[in-house]
Structure 1
Amino acid sequence: MAVTQQLARVSAEYLAACRTRAEESFDGDHQWDPPTADCLDLDWVPAMLDRACEIAGVGELHLAALRQATDGGLAMDVGFLNAHPHAIGPFGPAPAALEPLAVRQVSGLLGEIDLQAVLAVVPLDIREAGALIGHGAEGLIDGPRTYLMDHFDALREFYAGASKRGLAVVSWWD
């Protein structure tokens, strides 16, 4: 099984309920199970997208927002999601979360990134693209440009939906 970047849109109330269940359970079971419609599997795109944006000259503010969008933040304590034997991300860094205000800010900044300008720096030749952005890009079936575009569009839509609904976003690798 491959380890991939996962995101979930959840309410503060849902996180509080999971925390309470973890605290009250003899084995720390938080019963984390967000709706499938509010989950996003980003595969391995975060590092490739970050690298492509760096090469394209995306500004630091927007790069920071992209990194927050995939890595989460430190403002919300979701450590209870990382407790054995019910850890949701046992193969990567501890789960992290962005609170609704940060989600709204990140969503706005993601919306300002010119993806076409980013894709313009990615060579059409798969081997050249792989050499430039790394992280296994040369092995992508539809090529790095399509992969980056599809995943970035999904990320941007995911955050726009979370922002509109006032939800937090939890990230983990699984």
Structure 2
Amino acid sequence: MAIIQQLARVPAGYLDACRRSAAESPDGDHRWDPPSGDCLDLDWAPSMLKRACELARLDAVHREALRSATHGDSGIDLGFLNANRHAIAFFSNSTPTALHPADVARVSTLLGEIDMQAILRSVVDSGAGSTLGYGFVGDPTEYLLAHFGALRGFYEEAARRRLLVVLWWD
């Protein structure tokens, strides 16, 4: 079974309500159920995107923005979202992470500055496309452009609405 990257845009109040629900529920039910329009399935694209940026020698600031966009910040306590029986990341056995709205805005701006098409063209033209890995057969450009575009748009909307982004692997 594949482990895939999941993201959700939520207001701080929603996350607080889930935290309260988990604390008050006898079985730790956090009632996590963000609207499907505020969720994004990145499949297993994050590692390939990061690898492409490394191969193309994207600068450290923009590589870090991509890392933050797909890893979050472990400084936000979301352990309540991964309590047994109600765990949202039960396949990966990892704790969800999140980004505060200010970090979401910063990441959104930096993602908007990345020319992923040029990065992927550079990687594929150099013959290094096959080193992106994960059993991908053929040119990964279309797959990665679609997922990067979805990620960038997701963060743009989260920044516009001043929402947190919660991330986990499922």
- Bin the TM-score by the shorter chain: over 0.9
Task: Give the superposition deviation at 1:114.
Answer: 1.4
- The residue matched to 2:124 in structure 1 has which SS? coil
Give deviations 1:135-157, integer Å, cap 9, x for gaps: 2222x6xx300011000000000
Give deviations 1:44-93, integer Å, cap 9, x for gaps: 00000000011111111111110110111123211110111111001222
**Cα RMSD, aligned residues only:** 1.7
The corresponding residue for 1:74 is: 74
Mapped to 2, the partners of 1:151 and 1:43 lie a distance apart of: 8
Q: How does 1:93-112 map to 2 (within 5 A)?
A: 93-112=94-113
Structure 1 gap segments, 5+ residues each: none
- Pick closer, same or farther for the CA change 1:109–1:128 going to 2, 3 Å: closer
Task: Give the superposition deviation at 1:128.
Answer: 6.0
- What letter matches 1:83 in structure 2? A
The corresponding residue for 1:114 is: 115
Mapped to 1, the partners of 2:79 and 2:103 lie a distance apart of: 19
Mapped to 2, the partners of 1:98 and 1:79 lie a distance apart of: 15
Mapped to 1, the partners of 2:16 and 2:52 lie a distance apart of: 37
Mapped to 1, the partners of 2:162 and 2:58 lie a distance apart of: 27
Mapped to 2, the partners of 1:128 and 1:77 lie a distance apart of: 38
- What letter matches 2:97 in structure 1? A
Structure 2 gap segments, 5+ residues each: none
The corresponding residue for 2:61 is: 61
- Percent identity among equivalent residues? 56
The corresponding residue for 2:159 is: 163
- What letter matches 1:56 in structure 2? A
Mapped to 1, the partners of 2:56 and 2:118 lie a distance apart of: 7
Mapped to 2, the partners of 1:84 and 1:121 lie a distance apart of: 44
The corresponding residue for 1:3 is: 3
Task: Give the superposition deviation at 1:120.
Answer: 1.2
- The residue matched to 2:13 in structure 1 has which SS? helix
- The residue matched to 1:171 in structure 2 has which SS? strand
Mapped to 1, the partners of 2:48 and 2:116 lie a distance apart of: 13
